[in-house]
Amino acid sequence: MGVVILDGSTVRDFVNDEAQFKKNVDETFATLDLNNDGVLSRSELRKAFETLRLLETHFGIDVVTPPEQLSQLYDSIFDRFDNDHSGTVDLVEFRSEMKKIMLAIA
């Protein structure tokens, strides 16, 4: 297994390469859109985050988080992505939030 270290400028360069960024984010969106309806439902986005286990681990170590607290966290993430409050996340909303997240990481 290899380790890749990215610095802020690498992430910013990726986000600023509009064609590459859109291609990558659009492919990710398509993978998450399990029913292929062109939008992400609350359950589709939650499933993606559950698979990544971003909220259930802390530096690779499992942490005990009550299920109701996890549900609140996942709901708040979904609400953040759902900019127009339509109950679904479309590709434009997904791209926008992914860009914000990546730039915040950078």
Q: Is the pLDDT of residue 4 over 60?
A: yes
Spatial distance between the Cα atoms of 59 and 56, rounded to a whole number of angstroms:
10
Q: What is the mean pLDDT of residues 6-27?
A: 91
Question: Is the CB of residue 81 less than 8 Å from the CB of residue 39?
Answer: no
Split at pLDDT 50, 70, 90, the class of 57 is: low
Please give the CATH superfamily to which domain 8-105 belongs. EF-hand (1.10.238.10)
Q: Is the pLDDT of residue 42 over 80?
A: yes
Question: Beta 61-62 vs 57-58: how paired, if at all?
Answer: antiparallel
- The closest of 9, 3, 29 to 98, measured between CA atoms, is 29
Tens-digit pLDDT profile for residues 71-88:
888 899 999 999 999 999
The SS3 call for residue 28 is helix
- Residue 54 confidence (pLDDT): 58
Would you call 94 exposed, middle or buried from its count of C-beta atoms within 10 A (0-12, 13-18, 19+)? buried
| Domain map (residue ranges) of the chain | 8-105
